[in-house]
A and B are shown apart, each in its own frame.
Chain A
Amino acid sequence: MVHGLWSIRIEMGQTRSITTKNERTVVHMSTKRTGSVLVLGAGIAGIQASLDLAESGYYVHLVESSPAIGGVMPALDKTFPTNDCSMCILSPKLVDCGRHLNINVMTTSELIDLEGEPGNYKAKVKTRARYVDPAKCTGCGSCTEECPVKVDDDFNQGLSKRKAIYKQYAQAYPNAYAIDKNKCLKFKNAKACGKCLKACQAEAINHEMEDEINELEVGAVILMPGFDAYDASKLDYYGYGKVPNVITSLEFERILSASGPFGGHLIRPSDEKEPKKIAWIQCVGSRNCKNDHGYCSSVCCMYSIKEAVIAKEHSEHDLDTAIFYMDMRTYGKEFEKYYNRAQEEQGVRFVRNRVYELTEGEDGSVKIRYALEDGSIQYEEFDMVVLSVGLEPKGEAVELAKKLGIELNQYNFCEAKPLTGINTNKEGIYVAGAFSGPRDIPETVMQASAAAGEAQALLSEAKGTLTKAKEYPAETDVAGEIIRTGVFVCHCGINIAGVVDVPNVVDYAKELPGVVLSTNKIYACSQDSSGQIKEAIKEHNLNRVVVASCSPRTHEPMFQETLKEAGLNPHLFELTNIRDQCSWVHMDEPEKATEKAKDLVKMAVNKVALAKPVQPVKLDMNHDVLVIGGGVSGMTNALNLAEQGYQVNLVEKEQQLGGIARRLHYGLKGEDVQGYLNQLINQIEQNNNIKVYTGQEIADVNGFVGNFTTTLTDGQQIEHGVTVIATGSQEYQPQEYLYGENHRVKTLLELETEIADGQLDKVNNVVLIQCVGSRDSERPYCSRICCTKSIKTALKIKERRPEAKVYILYRDIRTYGFYEDLYTEARQKGVIFIRYSEDNKPVVENVEDGLRVTVTDHVLGEPVEIYTDEIGLASAIVPPVENNQKLSKFYKVPLNEDKFFLEAHLKLRPVDFSTEGVFMCGLSHGPKNLEENISQAKAAAGRAATVLAKDQITVEGKSAVVDKKKCSACGTCEQICPAKAIKVDEEEQAAVVNEALCKGCGACSSSCRCGAINVKGCTDEQIMAMLSAL
Chain B
Amino acid sequence: MAINAAKFDPTFTEEVTNKVKKFDLTKCLTCGMCTAGCVYSDVHPDNDPRKFLRKIALGMRDEVLNDPFVWFCTMCERCTVECPMGINIAVLTRTIRGQFGLPLPGFMQKVVDETITSGNQMDVSQEDYKDTLDWIEEDLQEELEDPNFKIPIDVENADFHFGMNAREIKYYPHELTEIIKIFYHAGVSYTLSSKKWDATNLALFSGNNHDFWKITKPILDETVRLKSKELVVTECGHAFKSVRMGYKEFWKGPEFPVRSVLELYADWIKDGRLVVDKSVNSKPTTLHDPCNLVRKEGVYEAHRYVMENICEDFRDMAPNKKYNYCCGAGGGALAMPEFKEQRVKKGKRKAEQIDAVGAEVVAIPCHNCMDQFMDINKEFYGMKKDMTHVSPLLSEALVVEECARNKGKKKEESEE
Contacts and interface: CB of A to CB of B under 8 A. Distances in A.
Contact between A and B in the complex (any CB pair below 8 Å): yes
Interface of A: 235-237, 283, 287-290, 326, 352-357, 359-360, 369-371, 373, 375-377, 765, 803, 805, 807, 824, 827-828, 830, 832-833, 835, 854, 857-860, 862-867
A494 B30 CA distance: 48
Interface string B1-29: 11111101010010000000000101111
B41 A371 contact: yes
A827 B27 contact: yes
A828 B24 contact: yes
Nearest to A351: B32
Interface in B172-200: none
A859 B51 contact: yes
Contacts of B94: none
Contacts of B30: 833, 835, 858-859
Interface in B28-49: 28-37, 39, 41-42, 48
B358 to A, nearest CB: 16
A998 to B, nearest CB: 58
A862 B5 contact: no
A360 B41 CA distance: 21
A355 B51 contact: no
A864 B82 contact: no
Contacts of A287: 29, 84
Interface residues on B, range: 35 or more
A376 B45 CA distance: 10
B29 to A, nearest CB: 6
Which 7 pairs, one residue from A and one from B, show the smallest C-beta to C-beta distance? A354-B31, A371-B35, A377-B42, A356-B37, A356-B36, A288-B84, A859-B54
Contacts of B323: 237, 357
A738 to B, nearest CB: 18
Q: Which of A353, A355, A356, A765 has most chain B Cβ within 10 Å?
A: A356
B55 interface: yes
A824 B33 contact: no
13 contacts: A237-B323, A283-B84, A287-B84, A354-B29, A370-B32, A375-B51, A827-B26, A827-B29, A859-B50, A860-B51, A860-B55, A866-B5, A867-B5
Contacts of A865: 2-5
A359 B319 contact: yes
B83 interface: yes
A355 B82 CA distance: 11
Given A289-B86, A354-B29, 5 more contacts: A290-B84, A371-B32, A857-B54, A864-B4, A865-B5
B58 A354 contact: no
A830 B54 CA distance: 12
A869 to B, nearest CB: 12
A803 B59 CA distance: 13
Contacts of A236: 322
Contacts of A765: 5
A357 B26 contact: no
Given A290-B82, A290-B84, A373 B3 contact: no
Contacts of A866: 5
Interface of B: 1-6, 8, 10, 13, 24, 26-37, 39, 41-42, 48, 50-51, 54-55, 57-58, 79, 82-86, 318-319, 322-323
A371 B50 CA distance: 10
Contact of B3 (A283, A376, A857): A857
A740 B39 CA distance: 50
A861 to B, nearest CB: 9
Contacts of A359: 318-319
Contacts of A376: 42
A223 B112 CA distance: 63
Given A375-B41, A375-B50, A289 B5 contact: no
Nearest to B321: A236
Contacts of A860: 3, 51, 54-55
Nearest to A764: B6
B36 A353 contact: yes
Given A326-B31, A830-B13, A857-B3, A357 B319 contact: yes
B32 A373 contact: yes
Given A289-B85, A828-B27, A830-B10, A377 B36 contact: yes
Contacts of B24: 828
B30 to A, nearest CB: 5
A401 B386 CA distance: 62
A828 B14 CA distance: 10
Q: Which of B36, B50, B58 has most chain A Cβ within 10 Å?
A: B36
Nearest to A355: B36
A371 B30 CA distance: 11
Contacts of A370: 32, 36
Nearest to A238: B82
Nearest to A357: B323
Contacts of B42: 376-377
A865 B322 CA distance: 41
Nearest to B81: A237
A496 B234 CA distance: 71
Contacts of A373: 32
A357 B80 CA distance: 12
B132 to A, nearest CB: 44
Nearest to B50: A859
Nearest to A825: B27
Given A290-B82, A354-B29, A828-B27, A867 B6 contact: yes
A370 B50 CA distance: 13
B32 to A, nearest CB: 4
B37 A357 contact: yes
Contacts of B35: 353, 371, 375, 377
A571 B24 CA distance: 68
Contacts of B85: 289-290
Contacts of A290: 82-86
A864 B84 contact: no
Q: Which of A283, A371, A857 has most chain B Cβ within 10 Å?
A: A371
Given A289-B27, A355-B33, A370-B36, A235 B54 contact: no
A505 B79 CA distance: 64
A349 B84 CA distance: 24
Nearest to A827: B26
Contacts of B26: 827-828, 830
Contacts of B79: 356
B66 to A, nearest CB: 14
Nearest to A802: B10
B5 A864 contact: yes
